[in-house]
């Protein structure tokens, strides 16, 4: 039987290993530095000196990123401001045209359009009104060029509803032509600002003829934009075009 004596040499702890490794590396680098006449210390010093520069570069980059974000936000604000000015300028021009029209010097109420003709119910628009001065049902609504848009059909708490002349199946009595060619007919709305008239083929109606509302002095409805006629048909179809783009009208006059 053999017995092994326990070694009295204790294993190195982690801290001792780290210390020994550090000491070894230090001695090694010192030797290299002496051997190469200070080259190692020069390299280490140069690297340490560059650390503040790297940090400064990082801080500069962060600052530039922040400044760029601020500039982008400012540019967006200026673009929105410019667009807003364009809209206001356009509205001011429309108001000047509406208020300076000599044909509408009679008493009336100026209102802002709150919705376009594409909103429900189809063929109507909503306009503003004062709480203490609501629009009266049946009053006519006009835009620039003294163009007749429609009629107030409902007056509520938050605004009034205008039924457009061009609303589907809406019938308006009008005069077509000029001077000795005036013809009184019914105009029918077909939606989206379009209107038609059906008259006998022999009636003298020409392209460009004005169409005005009967009984409403000088109230323009539109112009003859197209005429469909066939030898086999006793009637001719007259397409009337509104002088206005309903979707761009922002102010109206009620009287």
Kindly list the domain boundaries of the chain, sorted by start residue: 13-100, 109-164, 171-254
Residues 134 and 152 sit within 8 Å (Cβ to Cβ): no
Which residue, 86, 82, 106, 83, is CA-closest to 94? 86
Tens of pLDDT, residues 165-182: 999 989 999 999 887 888
pLDDT band at 160 (very low <50, low <70, confident <90, very high): very high
What pLDDT, on a 0 to 100 scale, did the predictor assign at position 19?
Answer: 60
Q: Give the tokens for residue 199.
A: 């008259």
Kindly report the number of other CB atoms within 10 A of residue 123's CB atom: 24
More confident residue, 103 or 65: 65
Domain 171-254 belongs to what topology?
Thrombin, subunit H (2.40.10)
Which residue, 235, 232, 238, 113, is CA-closest to 175? 238
Residues 220 and 181 sit within 8 Å (Cβ to Cβ): no
Per mean pLDDT, which range of 52-61, 78-87, 127-136, 206-215 is the poorest?
Answer: 78-87
Residues 141 and 155 sit within 8 Å (Cβ to Cβ): no
Sign of the Cα torsion 156, 136, 145, 179 reads positive
Residues 106 and 255 sit within 8 Å (Cβ to Cβ): yes
The rounded distance, in Å, linking the Cα atoms of 125 and 153 is 10
């Amino acid at each position: 039987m053999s017995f092994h004596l326990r070694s009295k040499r204790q294993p190195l702890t982690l801290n001792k290993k780290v210390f020994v490794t550090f000491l070894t590396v230090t001695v090694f680098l010192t030797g290299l530095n002496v051997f190469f006449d200070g080259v190692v210390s020069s390299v280490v010093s140069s690297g340490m000196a560059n650390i503040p520069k790297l940090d400064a570069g990082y801080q500069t980059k962060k600052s530039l990123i922040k400044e760029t974000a601020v500039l982008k936000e400012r540019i967006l604000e200026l673009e929105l401001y410019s667009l807003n000015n364009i809209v206001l300028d356009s509205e001011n021009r429309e108001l000047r045209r509406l208020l300076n029209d000599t044909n509408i010097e009679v008493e009336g109420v100026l209102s802002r359009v709150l919705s376009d003709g594409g909103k429900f119910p189809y063929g109507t628009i909503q306009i503003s009104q004062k709480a203490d001065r609501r629009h009266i049902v049946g009053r006519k609504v006009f835009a620039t060029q003294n163009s007749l848009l429609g009629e107030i059909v409902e007056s509520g708490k938050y605004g009034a509803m205008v039924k457009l002349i061009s609303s589907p199946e809406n019938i308006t009595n009008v005069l077509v032509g000029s001077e000795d060619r005036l013809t009184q007919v019914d105009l029918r709305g077909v939606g989206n600002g379009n209107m038609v008239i059906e008259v006998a083929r022999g009636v003298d109606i020409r392209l460009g003829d004005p169409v005005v509302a009967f009984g409403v002095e000088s109230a323009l409805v539109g112009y003859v934009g197209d005429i469909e006629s066939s030898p086999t048909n006793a009637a001719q179809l007259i397409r009337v075009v509104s002088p206005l783009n309903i979707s761009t009208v922002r102010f109206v006059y009620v009287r």
